[in-house]
Amino acid sequence: MKILPYIVIYFLALTVSMASSTKTGWKDKLETGKETQAQKEPERNAPIKALIVDGQNNHEVWPKSTIMMKQYLDETGLFQVDIYRTKVTWKGDREKEYLPLAGVGETEDLEKPQHDPGFTPEFKNYDVVISNFGWQAANWPEKTQKALEEYMYSGGGFVSVHAANNSFPDWLEYNKMIGLGGWGDRDEKDGPYVYYTNEGELVRDPSPGTCGSHGPAHIFPITVRVKDHPITEGMPEEWLTTKDECYAQLRGPAENMTVLATGKDVSGKAPTDRHEPMLMVVDYGKGRVFHTTLGHDDYSIESVGFITSFLRGTEWAATGEVTVPIPHDFPTAENSTRREFELKADKQ
């Protein structure tokens, strides 16, 4: 009479044990001996909660690039994505038809970036926070800065995309999170230049000088420097961007930072003759940061190299692991590959 419930429980237990043994095998491959990962096991089937923050960026693509990044994350089936935006925005006009798609209510676009005292995202409700802010973004409220610091220090995830590394030059802890920054009057007081020489030597150069430059946007080669990191594992050693800016002469605290991949400006108007950091990871407290300097405009963000590294980097920042695969259309040393963005009709 009461056999049926026991059979159900038996099969449930069997399913759970099979699922967990599969995970363990897969996990060992990527993260050998990391005991802390075991604590995350029960959450593995829950969506990764991601928050994109934006509103003030000198790159006028930002209302569109936020939606592009959200759609890329949604399409993996791994993420649940929210957007939090400043009420007063800057440079939101070019792509204004994308503004309502964020579902954040009314915002007002201004001539100059303006401080928003009501910008108070609940970072702690998310596994990863993605910044689509840019150069000259107004400072966040102090309590929001502190909230991000505490969130990251206690094990949060943060992703800096392209000009997000221009933001907040005077916020020391932010600069520690991103490792390297550009522009905003940064110079030798903010930390060394970090780059690879043409001979493959990693250099930290404290010499005086300005910070942040780039040649014209163009297709350029990325060289993977750390091949066994979960984000880069399986990528070809060299691959091409789409038309993008090769950021150069970045500098910053660069503490607990690993340069995963570098870019070489081949435009003929390169500001440096060296390989500049493009993909980086930073340990900040117990938190994980993924920093990509790629992503100048929509054509850059359509790059399969951008999409793949962004998705893998975001998953890693959130969980310390990567399950997003390297796709078949990933670029090579000879071929730049791009997926034209098509907005999904079911967006609100």
- Interacting residues with Zn ion (CB under 5 A): 245, 296
Q: Which is nearer to Zn ion, 58 or 323 (CB)?
A: 58
Q: How far is the CB of 174 from Zn ion (least distance, A)?
A: 19
Q: Which is nearer to Zn ion, 287 or 305 (CB)?
A: 305
Strand 221-224 to strand 257-263: parallel, antiparallel, or no bridges (unpaired)?
Answer: antiparallel
DSSP string covering 60-114: TTHHHHHHHHHHHHHHHTSEEEEEEEEEEEES-STTGGGGGGG-----EEESS--
Helix (H, G, I), strand (E, B) or coil at 152: helix
DSSP E strands: which ranges in 106-265? 108-110, 128-131, 157-161, 193-196, 202-205, 221-224, 238-240, 257-263
Q: Locate tokens 């190299």: which residue?
A: 305
Q: How far is the CB of 242 from Zn ion (least distance, A)?
A: 13
Q: Which is nearer to Zn ion, 135 or 290 (CB)?
A: 135
Alpha helices in 134-185 (DSSP H): 142-153, 172-178
Estimate the crossing angle of helix 62-76 against helix 304-319, to 10 degrees. 70
Q: Which is nearer to Zn ion, 247 or 330 (CB)?
A: 247
Q: How far is the CB of 56 from Zn ion (least distance, A)?
A: 15
Q: How far is the CB of 59 from Zn ion (least distance, A)?
A: 5
Residue nearest to Zn ion (CB): 296
Q: How far is the CB of 100 from Zn ion (least distance, A)?
A: 25
Q: Which is nearer to Zn ion, 136 or 319 (CB)?
A: 136
Q: Tell me what percent of the chain is helix, strand and coil, each rounded to the nearest 5.
A: 30, 25, 45
